[in-house]
Amino acid sequence: MLGAGGLVGAAWEAGILHGLAEAGVDLSDADLVIGSSAGAVVGALLASGTVTPAELYARQTDGADTEPAVRFGAGTLLRYTLAVLTSRTPEAYGRRLGGLALHARTVDEAVRRATVAARLGDATAWPAAGRLRVTAVDAVDGTLTAFDGGQDGVGLVDAVTASCAIPGAWPPASLAGRRWIDGGIHSTANAHLAAGCARVVVIAPTAMGNKVVHAPARQGAALAAAGARVEVITPDAEAKAVIGARALDPAQRGAAARAGRAQAAAHAEAVAAVWGRPAEDRD
């Protein structure tokens, strides 16, 4: 499970994955990868096999800014807050932020899609059937969908573009006859979608939750209560300081990736236990 967290959160995820692989726990062999927003980009690259965790990490530390930094104004932040306060369900929250997204002035959809396509590089086709799921929220009714390549006419680039469509920052994506916004609006990790899986590792750049959006730790606890072996990784103090309020600033990617790589050592043993055997026994 790879959660939402902007460009900087994606870099931190890449650092965690690389650090775990260095410790002998390579999560790229997962049977199922579910990505939301930032995690959709990382998940698509990981599941496609077009890059290794080390190469994914290197992309975050090369100093290249793939898109402009985004900062929300006070008005947009207020609308997010009001959406939480006036919603009782994730769907209601999604509808309110969908309304924001549908009326916001942003770049053209085609421009945004081209930016996401550039981030994915060679990862343009869905991997083996069912191995990757990419979440997005319907901008009109607020429901969550996990695209997996089985929907007619929904390509991987389009699904990831939809999953990354942060309300107020980027335009809703048009696919399957609907408009879609960021998959992290429903919950930051959407770890509940792993229900039924025996072993689950949740890597979530955003640890917080509220009365509407369930926190990754809460969802991980529910999976564990149902019998799964679960490890939830969220940013430590150093990573939080790097990500801060600049999750959409590409200039922070390198620092976030390095923070994730350093943090991974503290989780390697626990992740190896979930994954099946101690880190030192893995090739």
Q: 249 by DSSP, 3-state: which? A: coil
70: nearest Cα among 146, 207, 190, 182: 182
Catalytic residues, which ones? 37, 182
Tokens of 188: 């930051």
Dihedral sign from CA coordinates of 86, 80, 114, 189: negative
DSSP string computed for 154-187: --HHHHHHHHT--TTTSPPEEETTEEEEEGGGT-
Burial 22-41 (b: 16+ CB within 10 A, else e): bbbbbbbebebbbbbbbbbb
Contact criterion met (CB below 8 Å) for 14 and 260: yes
Q: 233 by DSSP, 3-state: which? A: strand
Contact criterion met (CB below 8 Å) for 192 and 222: yes
* Dihedral in degrees, nearest 10, Cα atoms 26, 146, 10, 31: 0
